[in-house]
Amino acid sequence: MIPFEYLTPHTLDEAISLLDPEDPDIRPVGGGTAVMLMMKAGVLRPTRLVSLRRLEGRHGQIQIDQKGALRIGGMATLASLENSPLVRTGWPVLARTFRSLSNQRVRNVATIGGNLAHADPHMDMPPVLSALGATVIATGPSGSREIAVEDLCVGYYETVLERNELISEVVVPAMDGACAAYSKVTTRAAHDWPALGLAVSLRLEGQVIQEASVVLGAATDRPTRLAKAEAMLRGAAAEAGHLKQVGMAATDALDIVSDQHGSAGYKKHLLSIYLGRTVNAAINTSNKGADHDAH
Ligand SMILES: Cc1cc2nc3c(=O)[nH]c(=O)nc-3n(C[C@H](O)[C@H](O)[C@H](O)COP(=O)(O)OP(=O)(O)OC[C@H]3O[C@@H](n4cnc5c(N)ncnc54)[C@H](O)[C@@H]3O)c2cc1C
């Protein structure tokens, strides 16, 4: 292994100043779970790693702001989110999704900032957070900007972040009566990488869907909003025949790609089935409310 510097700044400003907008071999590290795998595989040979683990504690906090939005420090671990009473009560779909992601050892150290910045199209959180309308706060030398999670990934392992910008916060709007579900379809263990990830968030009035937000993961080169399916769901009841039609139409004009988890044809088939199942799961959770699972 080529020797590299490992720096442990204590403030966000200091961490940002140690990054270099021109140098791809200088990288921030949150939990390091993806960075270490990339180094082992030889696809990343850093000259400097800037660890975010010693940053002030406030960068790992989970709070609710005055508007009722969930504000998550970029360095909050996935385990802290999974176990947060605030998350489990107000955003149960997030708590459930965290639990299905990888294993406890990874979740104990992986951070939400590192998770969203990694931009592997198979990640579970980007579709869910996109469907909920979440944003990230990206902080760089000249200040902070807000980016919709939906606009963060622009391709395989590629984001709109500058090399000296850090995800300092993630903001998830209040559910405010919406119901949501995420289907993680795996071909091996339940917590494995998904062959298909589908997130649905709905606003209902009686039996009728008033608003629908549907985002697909693990099938295209980035999380993809299914606008046609959303339009077909709006103003309709979740009736089996209609959901089947929406599922078939959802695959239109999508550039679904094959990978080690399944062929493009298989993923298309999964999408056509899981669209209706995920809509029904979202509606069922609206009757159940908060996430009370003991684990
Ligand atoms: C065995 C295993 C199984 C897994 N299974 C799944 C799975 O089923 N589903 C799933 O979604 N994921 C899965 N993962 C991926 C896991 O979710 C990610 O590795 C993890 O979330 C990355 O977070 P991290 O803090 O460790 O990031 P790091 O490894 O520290 O960093 C990842 C990337 O983000 C950059 N970065 C880190 N922090 C920031 C920041 N605050 N701002 C800007 N850039 C930053 C780094 O430079 C690097 O490019 C798995 C990982 C492992 C090791």
Phi and psi torsions of 134, nearest 5°? -75, 155
* Residues 212 and 283 placed together within one structural domain of the fold: yes
Q: What span, in angstroms and rounded, lies between the C-alpha atoms of 87 and 194?
A: 23
- For residue 108, the enclosing domain spans 61-172
* Residues 200 and 153 placed together within one structural domain of the fold: no
User: Which atom of ligand 1 is nearest the CA belonging to 30?
Assistant: 30
* Residues 272 and 185 placed together within one structural domain of the fold: yes
- d(CA 89, ligand 1 centre) in Å: 25
pLDDT in tens, 100-152: 999 999 999 999 999 999 999 999 999 999 999 999 999 999 999 999 999 99
Residues in contact with 236: Cβ distance below 8 Å, sequence separation at least 6, in sequence order: 208, 209, 242
Could you tell me what percent of the chain has a pLDDT over 70? Answer: 97
56 located within any domain: no
* Residues 129 and 218 placed together within one structural domain of the fold: no
* 140 in contact with ligand 1, CB cutoff 6 A: no
Question: Given 120, 137, 172, which residue is the final one in a domain?
Answer: 172
- d(CA 184, ligand 1 centre) in Å: 18
pLDDT in tens, 208-238: 999 999 999 999 999 999 999 999 999 999 9
* Residues 166 and 188 placed together within one structural domain of the fold: no
Question: Given 140, 156, 172, which residue is the final one in a domain?
Answer: 172
Judged against a pLDDT cut of 90, whether residue 190 lies above it is answered with no
Residue 289: per-residue pLDDT? 63
CATH number of residue 66's parent domain:
3.30.465.10
State the helix-helix crossing angle for 264-288 and 92-99, rounded to 10 degrees.
130
How many C-alpha atoms does 126 have within 13 Å on its Cβ side? Answer: 34
* Residues 193 and 137 placed together within one structural domain of the fold: no
* Residues 146 and 228 placed together within one structural domain of the fold: no
Q: How many domains does the chain have?
A: 3
pLDDT in tens, 70-85: 999 999 999 999 999 9
* 102 in contact with ligand 1, CB cutoff 6 A: yes
Which residue is closest in CA terms to ligand 1's atom 53?
33
* Residues 155 and 206 placed together within one structural domain of the fold: no
293 located within any domain: no
Question: Given 125, 141, 172, which residue is the final one in a domain?
Answer: 172
- d(CA 28, ligand 1 centre) in Å: 11
User: Which atom of ligand 1 is nearest the CA belonging to 100?
Assistant: 8
- d(CA 176, ligand 1 centre) in Å: 29
